[in-house]
Structure 1
Amino acid sequence: MVDVEKAPDAGPREEPVRRADAEGCLAVAVRIPVRIVVLVLVVPVRMVWDALVVVGRFLRDTVLRPVGRALGWLGRALFVWPLVALWRYGVVPLAKGVAWLGNVLLVVPAVWLYQWVLTPAGHVLARFLTAVGAVLAAIGRGLYAVLAAVGRGLSVGLAWLARYLLVVPGTWLYRWVLTPLGHALALCGKGLAWCCGQVARGVGLVVTGVGFVLYWTVRVLLVLPALAAWRWVLVPVGRALAVVGREVADAVGHAWRIAGHVSRAVGRFLGTLLRWTVVEPVRWVYRSVLTPVGHAVRDAVLRPLAEAGRGAGRAVRQALASARLSVRQARADVRRMLFGEPAERQPVDRREPSGAEARTLGSSTTALTKD
């Protein structure tokens, strides 16, 4: 017997979830050739770059830094030190002299003039102006009282005239002329506004219809073709270019790192070769030949010369010290013969009590009451 019953519906089929790191066939097809080409092109560039870096560091350490230090010392010797000496021994003493001269010629006479001429004259003038101010204040108070009385009378009269010549006629004109005229103008304005509203509504309908037609025309002729070109042409081409660009960037990064390893290996080989062909022989010559010779020259020649130089320096210093002492004694003898012995200084009584006269813990008196 044939089973004619329908199988139960399994429900809607779920679409497989795409992995975030899934790559298309275009990326896989482009990756290997691009990486090979970029590696061939980048390795020479990286090796040249590393060589230029090494040469630049060597030039910086052996040429540029010593030249810069020499130029700095030369600049200080030619510009800084002369300017400092000029400032210290020329400008500063000259400025002090000018300041002293200005103080003597300007400040001192100005202070004397201010203290003995301007200050007394100012005091006299201040007293005179105080007296004049008191007189003028009294006169002003009287004039103020007179003018205040006159002003109050004039204000009362002007207020009465303004009330009956301006306020009362103006109130009558506003109530019986301007108010009815304003009501009539308001009614006319309402009618005119209703007419303008009807006209504007008709114009709006016409503009809406024209805009609807123009909208669909522009949409059919411009927007829909542009949208189709964007969706079916530009977006796929852009995605393909993005995949190619990403692969090229990744290939350049991988090639640059591989070229760095290759360049480092070549550099280590060249460094090892240079070490065993140049550095080690030079080190052996310095350690085995030049160092013993230098020690022998130091012990046999330089140290005796240094001891002899130090002995000569000590002898010269002793001779100079004895010469200075002799000159000082001769100068003292000449001063004593010309001016005689200097007078001895008289001892000055101290105001504070001495140690023996001061108060102690065992005494019952103080230094001020003790006889």
Structure 2
Amino acid sequence: MMTEPRLPSGTRIAGHVIVDQIGRGGFGITYRASVLETGAIVALKEYFPCDMAHRDAQGFVRPLPKAERMYQEGLRAFITEANILKALPQQAGLVRVRGAFEKFGTAYCAMDFIEGEPLSRLVQATIQRTGFIAEDLLRSFLAPICLALETVHSTNLVHRDVKPANIMISRRDQQPILIDFGAARPSGQRGSLAMFTRCYAPVELFPRAQVRSAQPLEEGPWSDIYSLSVMLYEMATRQLPPSAPDRAAAVAAGGPDPYVPLTALLAQRRLRGSYSPAFASAVDAGCALWPEARPRTVRQFAYMAGVEMGAAPPPSRRTSTGAAPSPSSAVPRTQRRPVNRQSIAMVLLMLLIAGAAVAYGVVSRQPAWVAY
């Protein structure tokens, strides 16, 4: 057994050579690699669930005997989702996924690479400097992230792990980019691997045995809206709401939902004037405990928050994992709220997959929190 789980620098694999490791999580390792034929730098993510497998002396990833079934399930999901994302139309603001392949008993996904910083790190620096995050800064990344999620949802996928650590700020053009699709899977398709982050996850992602509910708990775009809303709640208040299972347990026991609405918490802290009523109300709607109470699409959520997303992406073609969504997910014109255009970065960000790797277009404004 190798003492170091990552592949050593210089390893050649399917026309790539490993330069170094740039990221590692519970289910994968991301490397900086160069393409042997062209010398181009790419990000190469390896499926490596550290709790289920080890790497032998020859570099092969071997599942542990008791984890063979779960390992293979994750491996199939990794390859399927990489290929789905590779098939997305190439256009400005959309990362180019170069391909997915199997080697060394596992699988790899290659994509365009650019350096950046996770939003979680930049948020901490901004709060230390200014004391809180202004609404215009939240808006500046909300529109492109909603566009990214809308594109993901148009392929019938749910990201399932939206959180500050999975949003990168591109060093080149300083724009927010959604990353890490290791937990993504088709809407309504449940598996045995819990690859999401508990404090940001909606109740429907948890195993049924952990949640007592008479409500239908179906996954869909509203699941990512919950995670996005919890993230905004945390950024506005510097605290997380109670986890979804804890909230569901309190309700099942006959008590009230312990969630404190953002509107009420801002009033308690005398910060009500720092955020618009539309924005705070949208976050509260997105944080609704039960799926049916949340906005159904990210476009609906954005309009509720008074954020303009711009043009919707074209309807995606049918994929092997499910039917394409309905052609229109926008809120009817009569329901749209007025939009504050002055604080919104107008971009056409669409998507980033897996690891600290992004490709991005150019916009005219840069969020004030980005300082390198």
The two structures have a TM-score, normalised by structure 1, of 0.12
Pick the structure with more strand per residue: 2
TM superposition score normalised by structure 2: 0.12
- Larger Rg over CA atoms: 1
